[in-house]
Amino acid sequence: MGRINKNITAKDKLSIYINTAIKIIRGLLNRWRFKKVSGFIFIARRVTLLNVGNIALGKNVKFENNSEVQGLASQVMIFEDNVTIGRNTMIRPSSYYGVGEIGEGCHIGYNSSIGPFGYVGCAGKVIIGNNVMIGPRVSIFAENHNFADNNKSIKSQGVSNKGITIEDDCWIGSGVIILDGVTIGKGSVIGAGTVVTKNIPENSKVFDKRTKVVQRR
């Protein structure tokens, strides 16, 4: 963790130290539940951790208030050093009840963060590289419903999942939606509110033009 800004008052520093210490204590009390933990972890209030015996953590991994992480996946889910899962963020590979297919899970790289109110649906493998900044309310869906047969209900046609990769050093702006099968190339910036449906080359800047197209299914 970095140093606290020198301009913060002594009172505020004390509050930060106390809150951080409480998160560390929660981390110490819960570390036995994970498959592997390499250092201190920080668990804030009202964090929900499910099936985390399938999750491996590096050091200084942070779970902020009201976040929820489910580890029911076919592969080990990995959170590398200094990963932050923001407030009210949900990471979910599978059904809570274990019905249907078991998802593949996710791998989040060093120094990467997911902002508040994020959603990572990792039924297909979601790979987030190193030093990736994901803003608030970003949704990642590595799954798609099949709907080609108009004589059957969509629900009965099952799903497909190709997976999603966000390469190193990307900035994903607030409210971005990333759909299944996409790779976002290294060093790219995705503007707020963009819907990403196609691969993005390295070092790109992408901003949604909000073109509305209505097609028959």
Give the DSSP H/E element, type plus range, for residue 71.
none
Residues with Cβ within 8 Å of residue 65, at least 6 apart in sequence: 44, 45, 46, 47, 87, 88
Question: Would the CA dihedral through 30, 102, 140, 150 be positive or negative?
Answer: negative
Residue 113, both tokens: 């963060």
Taking a C-beta distance cutoff of 8 angstroms, is the pair 197, 177 a contact?
no
Q: Which of 13, 46, 145, 155 is catalytic?
A: 145
∠ CA 137-139-145, nearest 5°, is 150
Give 50's DSSP letter: E
Q: Is-catalytic flag, 107?
A: no
Residue 129 burial by CB count (10 A; 0-12/13-18/19+): exposed, middle or buried?
A: buried
| Vertex 113: Cα angle to 138 and 78 (nearest 5) | 105
Query: Residues 202, 188: contact at Cβ < 8 Å?
Result: yes
Q: Nearest Cα to 164, choosing from 203, 137, 134?
A: 134
Supply the residues annotated as catalytic. Answer: 145
